C-alpha cells in the first residue's frame, strides 16, 4: 500500500509519481491525504469548502472519504493543465516571431562562415545601404546630410552634386553612388593585398617550412582584428585570400554583436507590451509590429557597421621578423604549481620530522582572561568609585 500526503497539479505527474513510489505495477492500494491548505486546493476556493465543512459540523483533522472529492481534485488538475497549456501556447507565439528572425540572421551568418558567397553578400549590403541613404535624404533634398553620411560610412566623396539630387530620379542617384562605392571598395581591397604580399612573400620564401598559418593584423582605426590565414594560400593568391578572411571576420563579429543586442531588446519589448492589454489591445500584435521595426533597424545597423569597417581596413606595416604563427590556445599546465594546502601540509610534516617534541614543548600556554568588570561596578583598586570613573576611564565600550 502507498500512502501519499499531497496530489500534484498535473495528472500525468501525479500518476507517474504514484506508480514509481513503491508498487511498480504490483497489486495493492494507494491512499492520498489531501489538505485544504495544499497548493492545488488553494487555487479553487478552499476557503469556501472549509466554511461548508464547518457548517456541517466537521471537526478539524477529521478525515473525509468520498468519490466526489477525487472527482473534484481531477477537475482542479484539469483546469490547471489547461491554464498551463494556454501559457505555453502564448509563449510559443512570441517565440515564433523570434524564430523567423533567427532563421534569417543565421542564414547570413552561415554564408559568412562558409565564405562561398561572401562577396555577393557584401555587394548586397552596399546596395541596401546606398538605397537607404538616398531614400532618407532625397525627399528633403538634404545634400549635406547625405554627403556626411556617405563619408562616415563609405569614406568616399559624393559622385554627384546638389543639383543632381534635386533633378534626377532616386534610382539613378543610387546607381551612381553604388558604382562609386564599389570602385572604392575594390581599390581598398587591392591596396590591402598589395601591402601584405611583400611580407607574405618574404616569410614564405624564408620560413615557409616553419609556418602553416599566420596572423595578419588589420585595423580600421578603432580596433585591431587578428586575421588567421594559410601562408601558402596567401602566397599563391598574391594575398587576396587575406581580404576574404578579413571580410569573414568582420561579418561574423558584427552579426554576433548585433544579434545579442537585438535579443536583449526583444526581451525588454516582450515585457513592456504586456501593459497593452489594459488598453484592450493585443500584446502579441504590438510585439510583432515593434519587433519587425527593431529587426529592420538591426539589419541596417549591421550593414553600415560592416561596410564602414571594411572600407577603413588597413594593414600596419610590419617587418617579416615580427610575423608570428597562428597556433591554437593551449591549456595552462597547473601541475607544477603547489596549492596552499599542499604547502602547509609539507611544512607541518617537515616540522614534525625535525623534532616535534621540541616544538610541542615550546608552545605557548593560553592566557586565561579574568572575570569581566562592569562599568558601574566598584573599582577593584578599593577607591570606592565606579569602575567607569576610575581605572575604566580609558576603556570605551
Please say if the pLDDT value at position 360 is more than 50.
no
Cβ proximity of 383 and 373 under 8 Å: no
pLDDT digit string (tens) for 47-56? Answer: 666 676 677 6
Output the nine-digit C-alpha cell for 50: 472549509
Cβ proximity of 81 and 10 under 8 Å: yes
Sign of CA dihedral 110, 113, 119, 123: positive
Give the DSSP letter string of 354-384.
HHHHHHHHTPPPPPPP-PPPPTTSBPTTSSS
Question: Domain end: 90, 120, 148, which one?
Answer: 90
Assessment of whether the complete model's pTM goes beyond 0.85: no
Q: Which residue did the predictor score with more confidence, 391 or 169?
A: 169
Alpha-carbon distance of 308 to 313, in angstroms, equals 9
Q: Is 331 among the domain residues?
A: no
Q: Is 333 among the domain residues?
A: no
Closest by Cα among 247, 296, 27, 9 to 123: 247
pLDDT of residue 77: 82
Looking at the fold, whether 217 and 136 belong to one and the same domain comes out as yes
Whose cell is 545597423? That residue is 301
Q: Is 63 among the domain residues?
A: yes
Q: How many Cβ atoms sit within 10 Å of the Cβ of residue 198?
A: 12
Q: Which residue did the predictor score with more confidence, 234 or 68?
A: 234
pLDDT of residue 337: 45
Sign of CA dihedral 114, 118, 124, 126: positive
In order of 50, 80, 169, 242, the CA distances from 4 in angstroms are 21, 20, 80, 69
76: CB partners within 8 A, 6+ apart: 9, 40, 41, 43, 44
Which region among 249-258, 294-303, 366-375 has the lowest average model confidence (pLDDT)? 366-375
3 state DSSP class of 228: strand
Q: Is 390 among the domain residues?
A: no
Looking at the fold, whether 81 and 108 belong to one and the same domain comes out as no
Looking at the fold, whether 171 and 313 belong to one and the same domain comes out as yes
Output the nine-digit C-alpha cell for 303: 550593414
Output the nine-digit C-alpha cell for 31: 491512499
Question: Domain end: 70, 90, 110, which one?
Answer: 90
pLDDT digit string (tens) for 142-189? Answer: 889 999 999 999 989 989 888 888 888 989 999 999 999 999 999 999
Cβ proximity of 316 and 219 under 8 Å: yes
Q: Is 248 among the domain residues?
A: yes
Question: Domain end: 58, 90, 122, which one?
Answer: 90
For 361-385, b where at least 16 C-beta lie within 10 A, e where not — what string?
Answer: eeeeeeeeeeeeeeeeeebeeeeee
3 state DSSP class of 308: helix
Instruction: Report residue 339 CA to chain centroid gap.
Output: 33
Alpha-carbon distance of 142 to 289, in angstroms, equals 29
Looking at the fold, whether 80 and 111 belong to one and the same domain comes out as no
Q: Which residue did the predictor score with more confidence, 352 or 144?
A: 144
Alpha-carbon distance of 181 to 196, in angstroms, equals 23
Q: Is 177 among the domain residues?
A: yes
Looking at the fold, whether 16 and 145 belong to one and the same domain comes out as no
Looking at the fold, whether 190 and 133 belong to one and the same domain comes out as yes
What mean pLDDT value characterizes the chain? 79
Taking the C-alpha atoms of 370, 372, 377 and 381 in order, what is their torsion angle to the nearest 10 degrees?
Answer: 30
Whose cell is 553600415? That residue is 304
Looking at the fold, whether 216 and 275 belong to one and the same domain comes out as yes
Q: Is 118 among the domain residues?
A: yes
Alpha-carbon distance of 178 to 181, in angstroms, equals 5
Looking at the fold, whether 135 and 201 belong to one and the same domain comes out as yes
Q: How many domains does the chain have?
A: 2
Q: Which domain holds residue 17?
A: 2-90
Looking at the fold, whether 26 and 102 belong to one and the same domain comes out as no
Looking at the fold, whether 69 and 194 belong to one and the same domain comes out as no
pLDDT of residue 358: 45
Q: Is 234 among the domain residues?
A: yes
H-run or E-run covering 156: none
Q: Which residue did the predictor score with more confidence, 317 or 366?
A: 317
CATH at 79: 3.40.50.300
Looking at the fold, whether 63 and 203 belong to one and the same domain comes out as no
CATH at 250: 1.10.3060.10
Alpha-carbon distance of 188 to 193, in angstroms, equals 9
Looking at the fold, whether 241 and 191 belong to one and the same domain comes out as yes
Cβ proximity of 154 and 311 under 8 Å: yes
Amino acid at each position: 500500500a502507498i500512502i501519499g500526503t499531497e496530489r500534484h497539479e498535473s495528472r500525468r505527474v501525479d500518476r507517474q509519481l504514484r506508480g514509481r513510489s513503491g508498487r511498480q505495477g504490483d497489486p495493492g492500494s494507494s491512499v492520498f491525504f489531501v489538505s485544504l491548505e495544499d497548493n492545488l486546493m488553494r487555487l479553487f476556493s478552499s476557503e469556501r469548502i472549509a466554511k461548508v465543512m464547518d457548517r456541517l459540523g466537521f471537526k478539524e483533522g477529521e478525515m473525509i472519504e468520498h468519490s466526489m472529492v477525487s472527482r473534484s481534485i481531477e477537475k482542479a488538475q484539469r483546469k490547471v493543465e489547461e491554464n498551463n497549456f494556454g501559457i505555453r501556447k502564448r509563449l510559443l507565439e512570441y517565440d515564433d516571431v523570434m524564430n523567423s528572425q533567427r532563421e534569417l540572421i543565421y542564414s547570413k551568418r552561415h554564408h559568412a562562415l562558409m565564405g562561398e558567397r561572401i562577396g555577393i553578400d557584401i555587394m548586397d549590403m552596399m546596395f541596401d545601404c546606398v538605397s537607404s541613404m538616398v531614400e532618407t535624404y532625397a525627399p528633403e533634398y538634404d545634400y549635406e546630410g547625405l554627403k556626411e553620411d556617405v563619408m562616415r560610412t563609405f569614406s568616399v566623396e559624393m559622385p554627384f552634386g546638389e543639383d543632381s539630387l534635386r533633378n534626377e530620379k532616386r534610382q539613378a542617384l543610387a546607381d551612381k553612388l553604388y558604382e562609386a562605392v564599389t570602385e572604392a571598395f575594390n581599390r581598398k581591397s587591392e591596396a590591402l593585398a598589395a601591402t601584405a604580399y611583400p611580407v607574405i612573400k618574404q616569410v614564405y620564401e624564408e620560413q615557409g617550412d616553419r609556418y602553416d598559418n599566420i596572423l595578419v593584423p588589420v585595423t580600421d582605426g578603432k580596433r585591431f582584428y587578428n586575421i588567421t590565414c594559410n601562408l601558402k594560400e596567401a602566397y599563391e593568391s598574391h594575398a587576396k585570400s587575406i581580404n576574404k578572411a578579413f571580410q569573414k571576420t568582420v561579418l561574423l563579429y558584427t552579426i554576433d554583436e548585433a544579434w545579442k543586442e537585438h535579443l536583449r531588446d526583444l526581451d525588454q519589448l516582450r515585457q513592456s507590451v504586456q501593459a497593452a492589454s489594459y488598453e484592450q489591445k493585443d500584446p502579441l500584435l504590438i510585439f510583432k509590429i515593434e519587433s519587425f521595426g527593431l529587426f529592420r533597424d538591426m539589419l541596417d545597423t549591421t550593414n553600415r557597421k560592416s561596410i564602414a569597417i571594411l572600407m577603413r581596413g588597413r594593414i600596419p606595416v610590419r617587418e617579416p621578423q615580427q610575423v608570428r604563427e597562428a597556433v591554437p590556445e593551449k591549456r595552462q599546465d597547473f601541475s607544477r604549481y603547489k596549492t596552499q594546502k599542499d604547502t602547509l601540509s609539507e611544512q607541518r610534516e617537515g616540522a614534525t620530522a625535525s623534532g616535534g617534541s621540541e616544538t610541542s614543548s615550546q608552545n605557548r600556554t593560553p592566557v586565561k582572561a579574568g572575570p569581566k568588570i562592569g562599568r558601574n561596578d566598584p573599582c577593584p583598586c578599593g577607591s570606592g568609585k565606579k569602575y567607569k570613573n576610575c581605572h575604566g576611564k580609558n576603556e570605551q565600550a
